[in-house]
Structure 1
């Protein structure tokens, strides 16, 4: 996959991993479109980026997904890569809550159902491009749950399963590549309540993804996640 001259949409692009990816990819000569729910945060992010515009909206809301997909295809028809990065996670103990199901619904909607729908909306457009990609940001949680994130891991495991199926479905379409990025704990505001300060910098995730694009490496383990891939290869 080429690493320059692309037009790239990044959900959750105003902070954390998404912002780090925007910085890395814009510096490499790509046009970036970041998305987020908060307009103020989007504008703050834009001030740190080159070759970047923003589309405000909440991809966990169906009407917003439809609107954003339409705006991309109408106003930014060159878009050829979408990075599904926006996510939701709740840190808690099952023994200390009575609404785990409500938290799980929010996580599953944001991390799984919304990704499927938005990708579905964009696929016909991407398939028309000579070179295109879908990149889904999953997690080290794909490989096992944690008691402080009791329902989050299931949503990322579901996303992983969908990503594999998407890749296999379009493997004969050589113009469409499907990537999955597996970050470990990352030091972002998103992960602050679960000890994110002990995690890797988000720039490390962006760097690994950039290398994967250069190599056409569709599974992108980062940091501690690499140990799981090493076991499989062994």
Structure 2
């Protein structure tokens, strides 16, 4: 699809991967709408972007989702790309009965999965009016294998992965709407600092890969180490009846 002249909404766009994507697509001549919970961080991010505005709100909250969708419909009728990037992650020790594992899992599932389904459903009528549109769901290398440090986060991203495949199949015959899945590995961001993010790839590498994928209409977008796993897994799963 075209990588310039779009109106792009990016959740979690004030820092990390979301901000890197905003910078990449802003520089390419797109109108950028970044979203986040904290107004101060959004304003700081805007100083690093051209042709961008911010909509403050917490997409994990239903009332905020409705407010944001209404603003997009009324003030940004040309919206044609949404990038579902906002996420929640917790170190979650399943052996510790006092660590509130279910509460952490609930927040991860709500933010990384349920809210994405609802926000996408709410914006679909607007996207389907456009001549060319895309939905980008940011999942993770963790969809392929969980671990003892982030078991419930991995599960929430695996759920998002399954939903994304189903969404892509649903609109497979609509040549105006494409569904992409972006699979970052460990990325050096504030979000991942607590799990060794300093050893990860730069967020700009994720943004670059997504940009190339949109140019090529490459709907599966593995990045970095995820490419090795994806090369093994994807040919097998694509042969499963669906």
Q: TM-score range by the shorter chain?
A: over 0.9
How many Å separate the matches in 2 of 1:148 and 1:231? 24
Deviation per residue, 1:21-71 (Å, 9 max, x gap): 000000000000000000000000001110100000000000000100110
Moved over 3 A (4+): none
- 5 Å-filtered alignment, 1:1-20, equals 1-20=1-20
Alignment of 1:116-127 (within 5 A): 116-127=117-128
2:64 is paired with a residue of what secondary structure?
Answer: helix
CA RMSD of aligned residues (A): 1.0
Unaligned runs of 5+ residues in structure 2 are 237-242
- Give the Cα–Cα distance (whole angstroms) in 1 for the partners of residues 19 and 232 of structure 2: 31
Contact 2:10 2:32 in 1 (8 A): yes
Counterpart in the other structure of 2:72 = 72
Instruction: State the TM-score, normalizing by the size of structure 2.
Output: 0.95
**Deviations along 1:104-150, whole A, 9 cap, x unmatched?**
00000000000000000000110111000000000000001011102
For 1:188 and 1:97, how far apart are their aligned partners in 2? Answer: 30
Alignment deviations for residues 182-225 of structure 1 (CA, whole Å, 9 cap, x no partner):
00000000000001000000000000000000000000000000
SS at match of 1:9: strand
Equivalent-residue separation in structure 2 for 1:225 and 1:104 (angstroms): 24
Partner of 1:90: 90
Could you give the per-residue CA deviations for residues 79-104 of structure 1, whole angstroms, max 9, x where no partner exists?
A: 10000000000013222452100000
TM-score by length of 1: 0.98
SS at match of 1:223: coil
Corresponding residue for residue 210 of structure 1: 211
1:228: Cα distance to partner? 1.1
| Unpaired stretches in structure 1, ≥5 consecutive residues | none
Aligned to 1:225: 226
Q: Distance in 2 between matches of 1:75 and 1:32?
A: 13
Conserved? CA contact 2:92–2:104, under 8 Å = no
Partner of 1:51: 51
